[in-house]
A and B are shown apart, each in its own frame.
Chain A
Amino acid sequence: MQIYLPIAEVSVNLFVLLGLGGLVGMLSGIFGVGGGFLMTPVLIMIGIPPAVAVATEANQIVASSFSGVLAHLKRKTVDIKMGLILMLGGLVGATLGVQIFKFLKSIGQVELLVTLSYVVFLGLVGGMMFIESLNAIRRAGKTGAMPKKKKHSWIHGLPFKMRFRASGLYISVIPPLLVGVAVGILAAIMGVGGGFIMVPAMIYMLGMPTKVVVGTSLFQIIFVTAYTTLSHAMENFTVDAVLAVILLTGGVIGAQIGTRIGVGLKAEQLRILLAGMVLLMCGKLALDLLLMPSELYSIGAGGH
Chain B
Amino acid sequence: MFRLLLAAVLLAASPLMAQETVVVDLSQNRVEITATYSGSNIFVFGAVQRKAPLPEGIGPLDVAIVVEGPLETATVRKKEKKLGIWVNSEAVEVHEAPSFFTIATTRPLADILNEGDQRDYAIGLDYAVRPQGHAESGIEDFAAAVTRIRQEEGLYSQREGIVNLTDDTLFETDIALPANLVAGDYTARIYLIRDKNIVSDTAVSITVRKAGLEVWLYDLAHESPLVYGLLSLLVALVAGYGASEIFRRLKRG
Binding site for B on A (CB under 8 A): 1-4, 6-7, 9-11, 59-60, 62-68, 70-71, 108-109, 111-112, 226, 229-230, 232-234, 237, 239, 241-242, 244-245, 248-249, 252, 255-256, 288-293, 295-304
Query: Could you say which of A3, A64, A239 contacts B232, with CB atoms under 8 Å apart?
Result: A239
Known: A67-B241, A299-B74. A9 touches B182 (CB 8 A): yes
Chain A residues, Cβ within 8 Å of B221: 6-7, 233, 237, 239, 241
Give the complex CA separation of A255 and B236 in angstroms: 16
Give the complex CA separation of A7 and B232 in angstroms: 13
Chain A residues, Cβ within 8 Å of B226: 230, 233-234
Verify if B78 is at the interface (C-beta below 8 Å from A).
yes
Verify if B228 is at the interface (C-beta below 8 Å from A).
yes
Known: A4-B35, A229-B229. A63 touches B180 (CB 8 A): no
| Nearest B residue to A236, CB-CB | B225
Query: Could you say which of A11, A60, A111 contacts B88, with CB atoms under 8 Å apart?
Result: A111
Known: A6-B218, A62-B233. A292 touches B182 (CB 8 A): no
Docked complex: B136-156 residues within 8 A CB-CB of A: 141-142, 145-146, 148-150, 152
Give the complex CA separation of A237 and B80 in angstroms: 29
Give the complex CA separation of A226 and B93 in angstroms: 35
Verify if B34 is at the interface (C-beta below 8 Å from A).
yes
Known: A9-B180, A108-B88. A239 touches B229 (CB 8 A): yes
Chain B residues, Cβ within 8 Å of A234: 225-226, 229
| Nearest B residue to A252, CB-CB | B243
- What are 24 A-B pairs at a CB distance below 8 A? A4-B33, A4-B37, A6-B215, A6-B221, A59-B233, A65-B240, A67-B241, A229-B229, A230-B229, A233-B221, A233-B226, A241-B232, A242-B217, A244-B232, A248-B239, A252-B243, A290-B85, A291-B86, A292-B86, A299-B74, A299-B145, A300-B74, A302-B74, A302-B75
| Nearest B residue to A107, CB-CB | B91
Verify if B4 is at the interface (C-beta below 8 Å from A).
no
Give the complex CA separation of A59 and B239 in angstroms: 11
- Chain A contact residues: helix, strand, loop or mixed: helix
Given A59-B232, A302-B72, 4 more A-B residue pairs with CB atoms under 8 Å apart are A255-B243, A290-B85, A297-B77, A298-B76
Give the complex CA separation of A299 and B86 in angstroms: 16
Q: How far is the CB of A207 from chain B (nearest CB, A)?
A: 30
Chain A residues, Cβ within 8 Å of B86: 288-293
Q: How far is the CB of A103 from chain B (nearest CB, A)?
A: 14
- Between A111, A301, A303, the greatest number of chain B beta carbons within 10 A of the residue's beta carbon is seen for A303
Chain A residues, Cβ within 8 Å of B230: 230
Q: How far is the CB of B149 from chain A (nearest CB, A)?
A: 6
Verify if B27 is at the interface (C-beta below 8 Å from A).
no
Query: Could you say which of A65, A256, A296 contacts B247, with CB atoms under 8 Å apart?
Result: A256
Known: A237-B221, A245-B239. A300 touches B232 (CB 8 A): no
